[in-house]
Structure 1
Amino acid sequence: MTEAFDAVDIIIAKRDGHELSTGQIDWLVDAFTRGYVADEQMSAFAMAVLLNGMTRSEIRDLTLAMIDSGERLDFSGLGKPTTDKHSTGGVGDKITLPLAPLVAAYGVAVPQLSGRGLGHTGGTLDKLESIRGWRADVSPAEMIAQLRDVGAVICAAGSGLAPADKKLYALRDTTGTVEAIPLIASSIMSKKIAEGTSALVLDVKFGEGAFMKDLERARELARTMVDLGRDAGVTTAALLTDMSVPLGRTIGNALEVRESLEVLAGGGPSDVVELTVALAREMLAAVGIADVDPAEALADGRAMDVWRRMISAQGGDPSAALPTASFSHTVTAARSGILTRQQALPFGIAAWRLGAGRARQGDAVSAGAGIELHAKPGDEVVAGAPLFTLHADEEARFARALESVEGAWEIGDTAPGERRLIVETIR
């Protein structure tokens, strides 16, 4: 077979800041997927993209080429609209759990392909696997049947979706090119577009507990992904949300499931409810369902009914007791006052060190490990009152977790300024 292009020529062109043609990008992705373009060549290309960026048309071509490297799911036969949500991840972000059944309660199909956690960012599948019997692996036929019968499915993505992205992602992780916005955007959107949903809402987080620390870079990523969705015919919107403080009052797998159940029962922390309802409203509007208040389906039990059916359909027992860790350690307030600061990243790292997360793909996680936050910024506390509780299956884990959060919270006399959770919506 005679190759249409030469990888070195393409690398040099991007290194020197030139715009690549659709043909060059299509060939590069295909040749990399079939092993003709070597890992070191694709790594050099990724670094050139990090340094020089890509135009909108180049990012679109890269995304479409990665989609074409694998299969596409097709939900057109369901007879109802499909909508999905993607979050760039954060500390205590359990929104997918109450959100999928909430949106499905309005007759919309929600095919939520999710992943596992790595480092301080928790994984949706890890959280759900703390429910007895629940399984993440669902065949395409089972997914279609569950979407038709229940309306929502949260499961692992099959290996057939955007395999080029999986190969490129592994290289980015080891070559210092993870931060390249064109590569982040095409990675996320190639999988989401291949997933076959007709509408997509993105939760793009910024702040120290997020992947994107800076609001401007988060805005650039959100705008790039919204444009990609629109170019591919997928109705897409993005919410920019603040991840400087942990979301909700729990960090860890079973702990976050429990908090999600509180939300589905009409309660739960105000920030989790606010973001869940806002994303649900945006997802429903994207498929033409406007002038509804999703909070009503939390209050009247409709969302909880869908949750129970969704968990049962994947082998889980929605009534089973959730796992708890063997040991706990509570940190109390040294003085009375107002909690003025609570940094997301140190608490995320602490939960990881307690066993809630993994250092490498394939590591086991502890279902019961994590952190309960008894106070959030702005709350009044009294000396000796609990601030947070650590949970672990091994007492030896507490020392390193406590090291992580040392200096990560502060009690003062003046309430902190008001923090907006949802800063902006991009459509």
Structure 2
Amino acid sequence: MHVPTLIEKKREGQELTKEEIEFLIEGFTLGEIADYQMSAWAMAVFFRGMTAVETQHLTTAMMESGSVLEYPKGSPPKVDKHSTGGIGDKTSLVLAPLLACDENWVPMISGRGLGITGGTLDKLESIPGFNIHIDERRALAQLKSIGVFMIGQTADICPADKKLYALRDVTGTVPSQALIVASIMSKKLAENLDRLVLDVKFGSGAFMKTRKEAQQLAAAMSKVGKLMGVQVTHLLSPMDEPLGRTVGNALEVSECVEVLQGDGPKDVATLVLDLAEEVSTVKHSQLAAWLKDGTAWKKFISLVYAQDGDASSLEKLGEVHRAPVIQPFAAKSAGKVKKMDAETIGRVSLLLGGGRKTANDAIDFAVGLSEIKKIGEPVEKGEPLLMVHARSEQGLQSVLPLLEKAIST
């Protein structure tokens, strides 16, 4: 087959066959198809889309580019969640240990930040020592002992997606519905799950800007999952303002610690419980009790220790990762917060160093935003609308114009 011909075919809006998609994915995974050709194909998909059948073939080809997890016969139900990405979206760190309290197995394979949205792996790596690269044998042993692991894609799991994910992040092709579906579902189906809940975001800080787009994406992912034998449910959640009161890696982990200790922002705890209820066998009240009484917190400590992390640092991450410059961004007038634009806030965090502009950028765990006011909350003139955590005075000054645009009272 001829790669430029397949790029042209998709550019013209034609449907690719199963064999053509398999050829592209296999060639790209093996390094036989160049990044610039795959970038052109991804851009063609972005503009032209894919049919449901093409998307299923792409998902299967990406899943079969590596190994699929296998479990002992008679082991507990395997459950997981996937979020399509948002600003301050930290639910996985609370949800995974909570679901493991229900005697489920939670084999959570997560990703890094994509575009302006933060990544679970980047947050986990802000915990000193936390190892996201444990092998399959060790991961399975961890499921047997504590019921949960949180890792990145190993070299064996969906290598095609790992390569394509990194390429999409730096080529403007992140918001393609077909590529989002295939990326998410190939990883999740490689986990060999029984139940999966999808947290599909919509609004300014999400890839899907409208509820209708989010509904279409949820339906597309559910269809692929069900075709492959997984019970898939979904929630649609708004992302016009950040989730919780922090944006930034270590800052968000600290907020998760608060939620796991029965405190923290109400919107984070509510969303976690709603998602958990979709795949859990126990009632909402029991899940809420595990958050309140420290059961989920103890499970998270076990998870951190099991993956070589320093759990004793969890309650002092703000000191471990303290930005040199921490300044309030104050309200210019009294009133109520009318706008706290999630997309612009995400861009601020990215510019501060909390995300990546290129695939090889290092993440600064300390930077970001905290104490973020919620829409509708009253503020006095001069009162902080949020706190900016920056690496330098220059970094702080560079984001102030964006914050002016992001917030109105």
Using structure 2 for the length normalisation, give the TM-score: 0.91
Q: 2:69 is aligned with what amino acid?
A: L
Query: Which residue in the other structure is 1:401 paired with?
Result: 399
Separation in 2 of the partners of 1:248 and 1:255?
11
Tell whether the 8 Å contact from 2:329 to 2:385 is kept in structure 1 after alignment.
Answer: yes
Counterpart Cα distance in 1 of 2:253 and 2:402: 24
Residues 345, 55 of structure 1: CA spacing in aligned structure 2 closer, same or farther, 3 A cutoff?
closer
Give 1:282 deviation, angstroms.
0.9
CA distance in structure 2 between the partners assigned to 1:171 and 1:365 by the alignment: 18
Task: Confirm whether residue 261 of structure 1 aligns to residue 257 of structure 2.
Answer: yes
Give yes or no for contact 1:205–1:242 (8 Å, CA) kept in 2: yes
Match of residue 216 from structure 2: 220
Tell me if 1:315 matches 2:293. Answer: no
Aligned to 2:155, the other structure's residue is in SS state coil
Q: CA RMSD in A?
A: 2.3
Match of 2:85 in 1: 89
Higher helix share: 2
Partner of 2:58: 62
Is contact 1:118-1:359 (8 Å) kept? no
Indicate if the aligned counterparts of 1:118 and 1:360 stay in contact, CA closer than 8 A. Answer: no
Residues 255/30 of structure 1: CA separation in 2 closer, same or farther (3 Å cut): closer
Q: For residue 407 of structure 1, give the secondary structure of its aligned residue in structure 2.
A: helix
Counterpart of 2:268 (choices 264, 268, 272) is 272
Larger C-alpha radius of gyration, 1 or 2? 1
Gaps of 5+ in 2: none
- Is 1:250 equivalent to 2:246 in the alignment? yes
Aligned residue for 1:337? 335
- Name the amino acid aligned to 1:189: M
CA distance in 1, matches of 2:137, 2:74: 12
Looking at structure 2, the residues matched to 35 and 357 of structure 1 have their Cα atoms a distance apart, in angstroms, of: 27
Shift of 1:374: 4.6
* Inter-partner Cα distance in structure 1 for 2:298 and 2:26: 44
1:302 and 2:301 matched: no
Structure 1 residues 205-214 or 241-250, which shifts more?
Answer: 205-214
Does the Cα contact within 8 Å between 1:203 and 1:238 map onto a contact in 2?
yes
Alpha-carbon distance between aligned partners in 1 of 2:120 and 2:93, rounded to the nearest angstrom: 8
Deviation above 6 Å: which 4+ runs of structure 1? none
CA contact (8 A) 1:127 1:253 kept: yes
Q: Is the 1:75–1:82 contact (alpha carbons within 8 Å) kept by the matching residues of 2?
A: no
TM-score by length of 1: 0.87
How far the C-alpha of 1:37 sits from its partner, in A, is 4.8
- What is the one-letter code of the residue matched to 1:311? V
- Percent sequence identity over matched residues? 45
Task: Pick one of 272, 283, 291 that aligns with 1:291.
Answer: 283
In the alignment of these two chains, the number of paired residues is 403
Shift of 1:119: 4.7
SS of the aligned residue for 2:276 comes to helix
- The structure-2 alpha-carbon separation of the partners of 1:174 and 1:118, relative to structure 1 and needing over 3 Å to count, comes to closer
Give the Cα separation in 2 of the matches to 1:175 and 1:374: 31
The alpha-carbon deviation at position 16 of structure 1 amounts to 4.8
- Residue 421 (structure 1) aligns with: none
In structure 1, C-alpha distance between the alignment counterparts of 2:159 and 2:125, rounded to whole Å: 25
Compared CA separation, residues 31 and 301, structure 1 to 2 (3 A): same
- Matching residue's letter, 2:323: A
Q: Which segments of 5 or more consecutive residues in structure 1 lack a partner in the other structure?
A: 412-427
Q: Report the CA distance shift for 1:101/1:271 in structure 2 as closer, same or farther (over 3 A).
A: same
